[in-house]
Amino acid sequence: MPDVKQVLQDEIRRLAKKEVKQSVLPLVKTLGELKRKIAQLEKALNASEKKNAAPAAEKTAAAAAPAGKETLVPEKKNRFNGKRIVRLRKRLHLSQAELAEMVGVNMFSVSHWELGKNIPRQAQQEKLALISAMPRKELREKRNAVRAVLEQKKAAK
């Protein structure tokens, strides 16, 4: 015959577990809802911060620039991929070597950019943006100077 004391303890334990589970279940549901609400609020906050950070960055950039002088680098983010670099180079009537000399990199770097094997670093993208935004007369002068430098390098070999 089973021990009455042990049977009573087991039954009390079972009933206590059941009662605790019933009292905790609404709290668990509420906790889940609160976690979802926090996640939504965090997403909204991050979106708001991104939205507000862009105008603030523009204001600080405008304040940092001296009055009356325009910045040479466009304010939008430079996104140069292989196709854009090829189009830029062909539009400006430059060879890979000439563009490489203007940007200050090796000709193979330009080739790799155009093939999509690599992308230009930020400083190189800024130089590409400057070259892209350069007036025609200034570009023509720079292109002639670069061609002269390349011819001198070729003659030195």
Residue pair 110/99 in contact (Cβ under 8 Å)? The answer is yes
pTM of the predicted structure, to 2 decimals = 0.50
Which residue segment(s) compose the domain that 129 sits in? 82-156
Q: Do 99 and 57 share a domain, yes or no?
A: no
Question: Looking at residue 108, which CATH number applies to its domain?
Answer: 1.10.260.40
* 74 located within any domain: no
Residue pair 100/153 in contact (Cβ under 8 Å)? The answer is no
Residue pair 119/85 in contact (Cβ under 8 Å)? The answer is no
* 24 located within any domain: yes
* 146 located within any domain: yes
The tens place of each residue's pLDDT in the chain, 157 residues long, gives: 678 999 999 999 999 999 999 999 999 999 999 999 999 999 999 888 888 877 665 655 555 555 544 445 445 566 788 888 999 889 888 999 999 999 999 999 999 999 988 889 888 888 988 888 888 889 889 888 988 988 888 888 7
Q: Do 88 and 151 share a domain, yes or no?
A: yes
Helix and strand tally (H, E) in the chain? 6, 0
Which of 25, 40, 66 is at the close of a domain? 66
Q: Do 94 and 41 share a domain, yes or no?
A: no
